[in-house]
Amino acid sequence: MAKKTATKTTTKPAAKKVAVKKAVKAAAAKKAPAKKVAAKKAPVKKTTIIARVDVGFGNSLYLRGEGNGLSWNKGTPLENVGPYEWTFSTTQAKGDLSFKFLINDEKWAEGDNLTVAKGDTSISSPVFVW
């Protein structure tokens, strides 16, 4: 007759398995790059110039001056947003803007030059002598 022999099976205790899993997770966490927190950006300040004037059918309103690329030699066209309203806006102003209005970049508005501070809005009604 054959003898029966008992065989032993070895298993790792459950506590060791848990410890190994925790060690693997901790190692992975150390290798993972830290999340960068985005810095809050300061709100962009818009500098706006608004002219409320009737320049006549077929004419356009221009702006000449200094600051933010404006020039006293060549005008920048304003956008016509309504029957009697023209606008110019920028977020690139580095300081105050000095300016004056012209019809068709030829006919200057009456009065002194105007100024608007960076981030502010200027609303005016230029007068032209026809």
CATH topology of domain 47-124: Immunoglobulin-like (2.60.40)
For residue 75, the SS3 value is coil
Q: What pLDDT sits at residue 130?
A: 78
Of the given ranges (13-17, 22-26, 121-125), which has the lowest mean pLDDT? 13-17
Query: How confident is residue 69, by pLDDT bands cut at 50, 70 and 90?
Result: confident
pLDDT, tens digit, 9 for 90 and up, residues 17-68: 666 667 666 666 666 555 666 667 777 789 999 999 999 999 999 999 999 8
Percent of the chain at pLDDT > 90 equals 61
Angle at 24 between CA 19 and CA 29, to 5 degrees: 125
Any idea where the domains of the chain sit in the sequence?
A: 47-124
Task: Tell me how far apart the alpha carbons of residues 14 and 12 are, in angstroms, rounded to a whole number.
Answer: 6
